[in-house]
Amino acid sequence: MKALVIGGGGREHALAWKLSQAPSIEAVYASPGNAGIALDVSCIPGVANDPAEMAALAETLGVDFTVVGPEAPLVAGVVDAFRAKGLPIVGPTQAAAQLEASKVFCKRFLEEFHIPTAAAETVETVEELDAALDRIGVPVALKADGLAAGKGVILADDLETAKAEGRRLLSGEAVGAAGQRLLVEQFLVGREVSFIVLSDGRSTFEFRATQDHKAAFDGDKGPNTGGMGAYCVDSILSDDLRKVVMDTIIEPSLAGMRSRGAAFQGFLYCGLMMTDDGPQVLEYNARMGDPETQPLLYRMNGDFGELLASAARGALDPSLVGWSDGATACVVMASGGYPGEYEKGKLITGVAQANATGAKVFHAGTMLREGKLVTSGGRVLGVTAAGPDLAAALSGAYRAVEKISFDGVQYRSDIGSKGLAQKS
Ligand code: AMP
Ligand code: GLY
């Protein structure tokens, strides 16, 4: 089979690389891809967010199926465009992707189907904001309704900050139109877990649970980012809790979308808070996580191509892949200043030496300039390694990280430390 991956970040590198390893796959294309993806598969320039262009590309290439990495093409309707032409694709329709595109839609959906989540009010004016804050109190989570590239959630400990940040969101100053409607949400306390399933609308394949690290700096300090590292080990979610999550959250969500005539086909990513009252939904994403995909696919056995092809056909067969024992870990190397302003075009050295340690360096924001690898984004590389346990996977990843350098490089040195503490 031939496959097309839409997107060009670290998650898409992992998707394309894993597909290229699958016995059933003879060719993989990525559009637009990036400099690192081009080392593993064929990259084709293109605008990922243009549904008609992507559908035409899939037709020209004659691929057997397409898989979508990021949320923006989904929200733009790429799956609808493919379906209209009868082209097999893995991903939710524009209607189903609303679970990620609108936090207000998602919250009302969770409430309608009695799926555990924090109580929240929707506000559109400063007066409504202040009244909701008085009722809900602090600490509080303020969430812009629309897509805001990870910058739309503010956690405030005191009322003054909550009022000021809420005003910045509502006025459009913080994240533009995405903040014109807000959720004012009760603050939840607990351990965060990323849990992803692949669904064809009816059957599901459960990925292992992973742990992301959203804050920019060690000790969970600093601003929220897209994710500075992730790991995958079975101790993150016990079998008992996994069953609770499937029974009380995932299955009712898939059934709810079906009953609304917007069956969810594709990757459903559930951001969970494990509270004293049980697992609660923090957010839904309509795609795999980045960087969660890197340690997940690095741990996967079996034919990922067959799995995705079966999902695209609407006949998902979860037995096509499995998991190796042990653990995997991914450390993100970012540009200095990320998630704020940062410079691009910094020369990257040591990637080959890092890969030679047995780790896999997934590229997120890299490009070639005069034949040399340089930085081109906030998150630059995702250095991923496996081991018999979490400690070994982490030391493998950090050993490889030490081989790589570029001007201003920034990474967390404590990825996985909570997981190590949890085990002991
Ligand atoms: P979200 O984009 O909704 O996942 O929010 C980004 C991050 O903010 C999450 O990963 C959590 O760390 C935190 N967060 C979101 N909602 C809440 C909440 N209700 N209580 C506590 N922390 C939250
Ligand atoms: N790493 C979090 C996300 O992909 O949304």
Given ligand 1 and candidates 105, 151, 155, 292, which is best to mutate, with the most ligand atoms within 8 Å of its CB?
155
Q: Are residues 211 and 286 in the same domain?
A: yes
Closest ligand 1 atom, residue 150 Cα: 2
Q: How confident is the model at residue 256 (pLDDT cuts 50, 70, 90)?
A: very high
Please name the residue that has the structure tokens 């590239």.
Answer: 149
Give the C-alpha separation, 150 to 154, whole Å. 10
Q: Are residues 168 and 261 in the same domain?
A: no
Residue 423 is predicted with a pLDDT of 56
Residue 58 is predicted with a pLDDT of 98
Give the C-alpha separation, 34 to 351, whole Å. 15
* pLDDT tens figures, 12-46: 999 999 999 999 999 999 999 999 999 999 999 99
Q: Are residues 169 and 61 in the same domain?
A: no
Q: Are 5 and 17 in contact (CB under 8 A)?
A: no
Q: Are 384 and 327 in contact (CB under 8 A)?
A: no
Q: Is residue 71 part of a domain?
A: yes
Q: Is residue 247 part of a domain?
A: yes
* pLDDT tens figures, 139-191: 999 999 999 877 899 999 999 999 999 999 999 999 999 999 999 999 999 99
Farthest-apart Cα atoms in the chain, separation: 59
Indicate which ligand has the atom closest to the C-alpha of 155. 1
Ligand 2 mean position, distance from CA 226 (Å): 6
Q: Is residue 120 part of a domain?
A: no
Q: Are residues 89 and 27 in the same domain?
A: yes
Residue 388: domain span: 327-423
Q: CATH number of the domain that 387 lies in?
A: 3.90.600.10
Residue type for 305, please? G
Q: Are residues 275 and 338 in the same domain?
A: no
Closest ligand 1 atom, residue 187 Cα: 20
Q: What total of structural domains would you count in the chain?
A: 4
